[in-house]
Structure 1
Amino acid sequence: MTYLSWVSIFRLGAVQLCLGAIVVICTSTLNRLMVVEAALPALLPGLLVGLHYAVQITRPTWGYRSDTGGNRTRFIILGMAALGLGGFLAALGFVLMAQSFVAGLALSILAYAMIGAGVGASGTSLLALLATVTHPRRRAAAATITWLMMIFGIAVTATVVGKSLDPYSPERLLRVVGIVGLVALMLTTLAVWGIEARHAGGPAEPTAKPLPFREGLAEIWAERRARNFTLFIFLSMVAYFMQELILEPYAGLVFDFTPGQSTQLSGAQNAGVFVGMLTVGIAATGLRIGSLRAWVMAGCAGSALALLALAMAGQMAAGAGLIQPATIALGLFNGMFAVAAIGSMMALAGEGREAREGTRMGLWGAAQAIAAGLGGILGAGAVDLARVLMGNASAFGLVFVAEAGLFLGAALMAARVIEARQDSGLPAMVAGE
């Protein structure tokens, strides 16, 4: 087996870019359209997005199949095809709701299940391939590169789609989503083709035994280091995703942003995430500035402050001018803590019994997906409940304040579970065996 070159790592990163490009439409743009244009409860898109995360609990299965099937490329391409089709059907389901709500909802449920399956199959197989054929010294950097490319894809897609949707029409929505899906599938095929055959050295032997999800999770949970890290990831990811489904509706309901403007706001947030990740990647690994724990705590605390600024914006007469810089700041600090977690996850994937890279990465992905789905549902449900009792601005602000509290809790937890070494960089692991 030969290890990946930097060019091949960037090629595989293009797959993550495509994943982010499709998912952002389903989790941000369609969510805003349901809540603002269709006046549906925020909990509805929250449950649909939660469904796509729930389906990703199957990630260990996809990881195991890619471990033993000898063809991760096939799962990556077919998963992207399912994701692109699911994204188009999700947009079609929203449009259909105007004529028949039940039929549109049924199609949307199918679509979001396909989105979850596509992300699980393609994303898990991609990360497993990276963990398998990337040199150990390059794993953290490879994880950072691929995640940065995903965030770049999200930011660019949100900005371009936002501009393309104004003035909004159902026909324009379907055309834009369809084009994004087709481009993503073609780019993924070109990016991944031939890499596995050249570097993996042929079909993989079925070295890993079938591992039920609960048994695999219990095996990892028995490791103190992995257990502490899992708890931190769960708490921080719940906080991270609580605002995912309510930020664009907040901009539309409180500040009268158009669909295009609110989608561009999401793009600005993810641009902030990109800059935050890049900053920590350069500072922590290149310049050796600060420990991993310091960067994680700064990211969580800064995210909390940005959320408090978003909450204050709704209470101010000139709050519309504050929402964009506060959103960019939120993305910046989100990126700081996220990139450190990614490097640690990649390093952990190569450890453990029998080196089940795919299965282990799937288990981590499933845990993250549970937190993401729970966070989205909690945020959307809390906003719906609060809007019954108070005005829109106060309702959204209350949820942002609660989310800030979770981030502060995550910062305190990071101080206890992450090892503080000045030379740790991105590959640093959670303290304790």
Structure 2
Amino acid sequence: MTAPAAFGWGTIVRLGLVQTALGAIVVLITSTINRVMVVELALPAAVPGALVALHYAVQLARPRWGYGSDIGGRRTPWIVGGMAALALGGLGAAIATAVIGAHPVAGFALAILAFLVVGIGVGAAGTSLLVLLSTGVAPQRRGAAATIVWVMMIAGFVVTAPLAGRFLDPFSPARLIAVSATVSGLAFLVGLAAVWGVEPRAGTRPARAEARPSFGQVLTEVWAEPASRRFTVFVFLAMLAYSAQELILEPFAGLVFAMSPGATTALAGLQNGGVLAGMVLVALVTSLAPGPRLGSLRLWTVLGCLGSALALAGIAACGVMGPGAPLRALVAGLGLFNGIFAVSAIGSMMALAGSGGTPEGEGRHGTRMGVWGAAQGVAFGLGGFLGAAAVDLARALTGAVVPAYAAVFTAEALLFLLAAGLALRIDAPARRREARTGIFPVSHGWREARP
């Protein structure tokens, strides 16, 4: 398999357009269609919630899709195929939503199929895009590349939601289908243009079918790698903690501090601003000061986890402190450290995908990235639900609001502490091997030691 030449900034931004296109379709499903089901169709909120959870659950198959791109030798077909599936799934979800009112059985059946296809599209395109970036981005640019693709995905959310909302008024099922078809079609074309010609067509011919290791064999080998296994557990724990506060932070501010809906929305905006600031900070420092210290993505990952744990512990204490508690400052700090953790973890994921702590790591990029992507998807799917359910359970047991929220925020802080401990050990086998071979890492890249 021929690795692409090191990507310049223009190519990185161009590939980030795939994430923009992906975000544009996903936000219609998780925001607009979710709202239509609950408000216009008067369905229980659990219905769209279960469908979104289904789209996360199907991403357990990410390792298989990554293995397919490893065997095929190219990532572009999987990105294009994934975007096509995502576009069809987005349109199918809109059609299903329009049909549910008149034909519930057919509508729900189509909705289940559409959300399954959405999950397949997100998993196939997202996994192979990260693998393509991991093989084509210079080590010192991985933090910045992770920031760029993440921010461009958020840009897809930010641009699509208000525009779609504008064209949906006055609402009708036909308008919903038309808007979804337009967004899905444009997003697919943007994704196609973004990857066209980036990856070399010529490469090492794949091994003959009988010589190829089976998916089960490759998955077993990847899971047997201590570094890959630790990183999988790290991703799951950290992303679980990261997503568990998403659905409980605003209710906490409203119930405990009597904040209005507008004030809690502004609080969420403050947190998101902190996330963006943390991502940009990591991108700038790792790009401008590459090296084993400030340029170490492992260092920034640990810092992000520890800072997030400290901020969550502070937020848990705010309920006891009362009106004078520095809630806004702590929420902004939580966002900052969440951003630092998220982008450096993705950068580390790109760096580790080709090694896994073993000399045989080459050729397992997609499978390894798929395993980590599956852990991330499952954690995101579980996090919001478990966070909210844990608050309800704690309130039922204690009969009080403040202790219930404090217990859950503290549990999230402990998850981040566990994740930080795992992050410290992620590349331990590689460091031991360095002492024997004289090969040393520079910001997760490799160079020969020189006298």
SS of match in other structure, 2:18? helix
Shift of residue 12, structure 1, vs aligned partner: 1.6
Cα distance in structure 2, aligned partners of 1:180 and 1:315 = 46
Range that drifts further, 394-403 or 68-77: 394-403
Cα distance in structure 1, aligned partners of 2:152 and 2:114 = 24
Cα displacement string for residues 131-150 of structure 1 (whole angstroms, at most 9, x for unaligned residues) = 44x26xx1562574155323
Matched, 1:363 2:371: yes
Match of 2:87 in 1: 84
Q: CA separation of 1:297/1:360 partners in 2, compared to 1, >3 Å: closer, same or farther?
A: closer
Identity of aligned residues (%): 49
Count how many residue pairs are aligned between Structure 1 and Structure 2.
Answer: 420
Match of 1:201 in 2: 202
Match of 1:188 in 2: 191
Match of 1:299 in 2: 304
Q: CA separation of 1:255/1:90 partners in 2, compared to 1, >3 Å: closer, same or farther?
A: farther
State which structure, 1 or 2, has the greater radius of gyration over its C-alpha atoms: 2
Asked if the contact 2:297–2:347 (Cα under 8 Å) also holds between the matched residues in 1, the reply is no
Shift of residue 299, structure 1, vs aligned partner: 1.2
Please give the root-mean-square deviation of Cα atoms over the aligned residues, in Å: 4.5
Cα distance in structure 1, aligned partners of 2:404 and 2:43 = 16
Q: CA separation of 1:174/1:408 partners in 2, compared to 1, >3 Å: closer, same or farther?
A: farther
Matched, 1:348 2:352: yes
Match of 1:72 in 2: 75
Gaps of at least 5 residues in structure 2 are 432-439, 447-451
Gaps of at least 5 residues in structure 1 are none
Asked if the contact 1:386–1:395 (Cα under 8 Å) also holds between the matched residues in 2, the reply is yes
Match of 2:437 in 1: none
Match of 1:280 in 2: 282
Q: TM-score, normalised by structure 1?
A: 0.76
Pairs within 5 Å for 1:64-143: 64-69=67-72, 72-91=75-94, 93=96, 104-132=107-135, 134=136, 138-139=138-139, 141-142=141-142
Match of 2:417 among 391, 408, 411: 408
Match of 2:50 among 33, 47, 64: 47
Shift of residue 368, structure 1, vs aligned partner: 2.6
Match of 2:444 in 1: 427
Pairs within 5 Å for 1:244-323: 244=246, 257=261, 269-288=271-290, 290=294, 291-307=296-312
Cα displacement string for residues 16-44 of structure 1 (whole angstroms, at most 9, x for unaligned residues) = 23223333444456557767887876655
Asked if the contact 2:145–2:283 (Cα under 8 Å) also holds between the matched residues in 1, the reply is no
Cα displacement string for residues 209-238 of structure 1 (whole angstroms, at most 9, x for unaligned residues) = 655555433312322222222222221121
Match of 1:150 in 2: 150
Cα distance in structure 1, aligned partners of 2:400 and 2:15 = 46
Asked if the contact 1:213–1:363 (Cα under 8 Å) also holds between the matched residues in 2, the reply is no
Cα distance in structure 2, aligned partners of 1:322 and 1:34 = 34
Residue identity in the other structure for 1:302: G
Cα distance in structure 2, aligned partners of 1:312 and 1:38 = 40
Q: CA separation of 1:102/1:303 partners in 2, compared to 1, >3 Å: closer, same or farther?
A: farther
Q: CA separation of 1:293/1:139 partners in 2, compared to 1, >3 Å: closer, same or farther?
A: closer
Range that drifts further, 12-21 or 370-379: 370-379
SS of match in other structure, 1:365? helix
Cα distance in structure 2, aligned partners of 1:255 and 1:102 = 41
Shift of residue 247, structure 1, vs aligned partner: 5.9
SS of match in other structure, 2:280? helix
Match of 1:228 in 2: 230
Cα displacement string for residues 161-184 of structure 1 (whole angstroms, at most 9, x for unaligned residues) = 158648987547666554432332
Shift of residue 98, structure 1, vs aligned partner: 5.9
Range that drifts further, 54-63 or 393-402: 393-402
Q: CA separation of 1:152/1:303 partners in 2, compared to 1, >3 Å: closer, same or farther?
A: farther
Cα displacement string for residues 272-328 of structure 1 (whole angstroms, at most 9, x for unaligned residues) = 433312211322342256454542233123323444566678899989x966x7655
Q: TM-score, normalised by structure 2?
A: 0.73
Shift of residue 15, structure 1, vs aligned partner: 1.0
Cα distance in structure 2, aligned partners of 1:162 and 1:314 = 35
Match of 1:338 in 2: 342
Q: CA separation of 1:68/1:217 partners in 2, compared to 1, >3 Å: closer, same or farther?
A: closer
Residue identity in the other structure for 1:150: W
Residue identity in the other structure for 1:130: L
Asked if the contact 1:81–1:118 (Cα under 8 Å) also holds between the matched residues in 2, the reply is yes
Pairs within 5 Å for 1:205-224: 205-206=206-207, 214-224=216-226
Matched, 1:19 2:22: yes
Pairs within 5 Å for 1:366-385: 366-382=374-390, 385=393
Range that drifts further, 287-296 or 202-211: 202-211
Residue identity in the other structure for 2:281: T
Cα distance in structure 1, aligned partners of 2:238 and 2:341 = 9
Cα distance in structure 2, aligned partners of 1:307 and 1:163 = 35
Residue identity in the other structure for 1:379: G
Shift of residue 343, structure 1, vs aligned partner: 2.5
SS of match in other structure, 2:418? helix
Cα distance in structure 1, aligned partners of 2:35 and 2:246 = 10
Range that drifts further, 247-256 or 14-23: 247-256
